[in-house]
Amino acid sequence: MTEVVAASTRGVAGVGLTALLVAAARAIETTRPDALARDEYAACFIRAVPACADWPLSLAEVPDGDADPLWGHLGRFFGLRTRVFDDFLLRAAGAGSRQVVLLGAGLDTRAHRLPWPDGCTVFEVDQPEVLAFKQSVLDCLVGVDGVIGLDGKPRAERVVVESDLRDDWTAKLIAAGFDPALPTAWLAEGLIPYLSPAAELDLVSVIHAHSGPGSVLAYEIKQGVDPARQRDFAVYAAARERLGIDLLALFSDEQRPDSAAALAGWGWSTSVGTPFDFTRRHGRGPRPTHNDAPAANRWIFAALGPGAVSGSA
């Protein structure tokens, strides 16, 4: 796997450490005997970045296991989030949606690792630097004989759309072959907590305007983030001290809008769940702790048209 380790690091600065943090968490989750989600590609991205050389890539490399607030507790949260949104997208595809749009796709490899029905197209929208780094690593997997046996080939048609979501990304999406008249499965997995309240409402409005009947949407928000009170929460302190990532500084602390209500006003049916709702459903996953950062997270599921919507079958 030396080819992967030596992959070009062009664009790593654009990826940001947060995308790499999630990739490392997915790699660790993949090694668990009770893994909620498996992403065999995730470790390859970490190995391609020398600055992440000392990051754990398996549960065995996390000394305190689930008791570790960063790689244990937060890592398991990212594993659960991956599973919940994987299931959501596959149900949408199974119900007939053949367009999937990943907004702020980051280092996710859903186009490669999920069992998509024939005819699915996965559009990945993100900044050019992010997508270039991802592609450089995937390219190095082609023809590589390794223990993970990956070939870098997607299992659906994968279309990358290089755009900052603050720009006119929909024009580029349509130019890439997206049809706004068709039902679409939209996902904004870890994106919205970094947006301002106005940008959150603008994003869901744009999604609505480009969604055909039968479209579905899943996204994550954070409620009640108070940097002054939460700065010493174990997860945030560990990310600062070990990785140099001040997660709280990245989140908007303004009063969040009720974007689910906005969607309902436009004809979408919606449901909201907490991570711990899904821990109970799956019988495994992160469990609440004292001063728990993931307790502020909410996962919103919406469908344009009649019928109940949730993150679980």
Q: Tokens for 44?
A: 């390859």
pLDDT at residue 3, as a whole number? 37
pLDDT band at residue 306 using 50, 70 and 90 as cut-offs: low
pLDDT at residue 120, as a whole number? 98
pLDDT at residue 86, as a whole number? 98
* pLDDT mean over 188-208: 94
pLDDT at residue 312, as a whole number? 57
* pTM for this model (two decimals): 0.92
Domain ranges for the chain: 2-304
pLDDT band at residue 11 using 50, 70 and 90 as cut-offs: very low
Classify residue 97 as exposed, middle or buried by CB count within 10 Å of its CB (0-12, 13-18, 19+).
buried
Distance linking the first and last C-alpha atoms of the chain = 38
pLDDT at residue 310, as a whole number? 58
Cα 125 to Cα 1, 97, 131, 192: the distances in Å are: 28, 18, 8, 14
Helices 12-30 + 128-141 axis angle, to 10:
50
Q: Tokens for 141?
A: 């997997």
What is the 3-state secondary structure of the chain? CHHHHCCCCCCHHHHHHHHHHHHHHHHHHHCCCCCCCCCCCHHHHHHCCHHHCCCCCCHHHCCCHHHCHHHHHHHHHHHHHHHHHHHHHHHHHHCCCCEEEEECCCCCCHHHHCCCCCCCEEEEEECHHHHHHHHHHHHHHCCCCCCCCCCCCCCCEEEEEECCCCCCHHHHHHHCCCCCCCCEEEEECCCHHHCCHHHHHHHHHHHHHCCCCCCEEEEEEECCCCHHHHCCCHHHHHHHHHHCCCHHHHCCCCCCCCHHHHHHHCCEEEEEECHHHHHHHHCCCCCCCCCCHHHHEEEEEEEECCCCCCCCC
Query: How many angstroms separate the CA atoms of 147 and 118, rounded?
Result: 28
pLDDT at residue 69, as a whole number? 96
* pLDDT mean over 160-179: 95
pLDDT at residue 105, as a whole number? 95
* pLDDT mean over 142-159: 71
Q: What percent of the chain has pLDDT over 70?
A: 90
pLDDT band at residue 141 using 50, 70 and 90 as cut-offs: confident
pLDDT band at residue 123 using 50, 70 and 90 as cut-offs: very high
- Of 56 and 147, more confident: 56
* pLDDT mean over 11-25: 77
Regarding the domain delimited by 2-304, which CATH topology (the fold level of the hierarchy) does it fall under?
Rossmann fold (3.40.50)
